[in-house]
Amino acid sequence: MNIQDLQVKVQAAEEKVAKIEKTIEKHKARREKKILEVNKILEQNGISIKFEDIQDEDNVAHKYYGTAFHNEYYWAVCDVHSAESDIKGAEYKLRDAKEILKNWKEKLGREEAKIQYIQDTVPQIIKDFLDEWKRKCIDYYQKKANSYPEAYKQYQADLHRAYYDALKEIVERLVAENKEEFIKQYCWGKEQRFNEIMEMLEQYSPEGPQAYCQSYYKSYSEIFYFDYRSKNDPRNSRRYEDIKEAFNMRFGDMFFQAFKDQKFDKDWLDKQIEQEKNNKLIELMNRVTKITGTITDAKGLSVESTGDLNGVIIGERGKAKVQTIGAGGYNEHIILDSGRHGQRYHFRVLVNPIK
């Protein structure tokens, strides 16, 4: 479990503790209110004793059994005891919640100490390598975010045109196969509607049928209803599916979608990539030190012009060869015909012992 996950756990545990403490305060306030009601009943019946003076007596609820006000007094005392029971139950929960919070804080502290130790001992060249990786990632996602509005607008326009082209082709095919059946099934058996449809499909307009003929349809997709499973649905055409697939290949990855949900917040992006960078740092250092022990010499490491980290690293127990296989960070613009798409720079590091 990484630091981010542990921080979430600690925050959730703190919120639970705070919530229970607030509940206890509510129960205590209710108890005080009920005690005032008991004292009021005693006072109204000429008894100067306060509930606080008799609350520890056995069978305090039956103390005035046989009196005219016993029934009212009895239920008021029961309300006090109910509040006390709720307080005690909440305090048990609070004890457990605090113990859970303590455990999560200890785990977080150990993980933070481990990360701090790694960061204190990690060679500067590895820090520089990962800082550059972070810069490339942020630059990649920021460029995607900047291009998204215009790309989405073009995507919608391309889908609209692809739908029209497929719809026109489907209608022409169905009419050629059986015009009368087409009129019966799709035109309510009316020749006039058939003529209107053919007029709407005569030419394409980005604004839809309303742009050039008398029609209340704003979009070509409103003209007919097709079962999405049918081969006659324009959405099942190859071109339509290719456009959707290409757009999803470019913008459909889960991280970018999360970035979009955050309204392309730069601070959120930096925080997420920083966390991932730290995770990569810990993983790499653990793999290296498992072979070398404490690092004593990293002068044999270098960052190539490609951005890859390669070389030899020396530690107390031996030497390790570090080889980075990097990819991505190029071709951010989709090429529909080839299906190729850009990807952020990522890498895989091979760490092997040198005999």
- Could you report the per-residue pLDDT of 304-322, keeping only the tens digit for each? 888 899 999 999 999 999 9
Question: Stretch 139-165: mean pLDDT, rounded?
Answer: 94
User: pTM score > 0.75 for this model?
Assistant: no
Return the biggest CA–CA distance within the chain: 103
Read out DSSP for 237-278? SHHHHHHHHHHHHHH--HHHHHHHHTTT-HHHHHHHHHHHHH
CB atoms inside a 10 Å sphere around CB 153? 10
Interhelix angle 266-292/70-121, rounded to 10 degrees, is 60
Question: Stretch 134-142: mean pLDDT, rounded?
Answer: 93
Within a domain: residue 104? yes
Within a domain: residue 26? yes
- Length of the chain equals 355
Closest to 77 in 3D by CA, of 56, 100, 102: 56
What is the extent of the structural domain holding 65?
A: 3-119
Within a domain: residue 20? yes
Tens of pLDDT, residues 23-82: 999 999 999 999 999 999 999 999 989 999 998 888 898 988 888 899 999 999 999 999
Can you tell me which residue has the tokens 């071109």? Answer: 239
Higher pLDDT, 6 or 307: 6
Let me know: does 16 contact 38? Beta carbons within 8 Å: no
**Which one-letter DSSP state was computed for residue 210?**
G
Q: What is the pLDDT of residue 3?
A: 82
Give the integer Cα–Cα distance in Å for 148 and 296: 47
The β-bridge relationship of strands 319-327 and 309-315 is antiparallel
CB atoms inside a 10 Å sphere around CB 194? 19
Q: What is the pLDDT of residue 215?
A: 61
Can you tell me which residue has the tokens 């719809």? Answer: 167
Let me know: does 251 contact 147? Beta carbons within 8 Å: no
Within a domain: residue 327? no
3-class secondary-structure state, position 38: helix
Structure tokens, 262: 């955050």
Let me know: does 77 contact 62? Beta carbons within 8 Å: no
Within a domain: residue 56? yes
Domain count for the chain, please give it. Answer: 1
Within a domain: residue 66? yes
Within a domain: residue 210? no
Confidence of residue 330 (pLDDT cuts 50, 70, 90): very low
Within a domain: residue 314? no
Q: What is the pLDDT of residue 233?
A: 87
Residue 179 Cα to chain centre, angstroms: 51
- Element at 175 (helix H, strand E): helix 124-177
Q: What is the pLDDT of residue 17?
A: 97
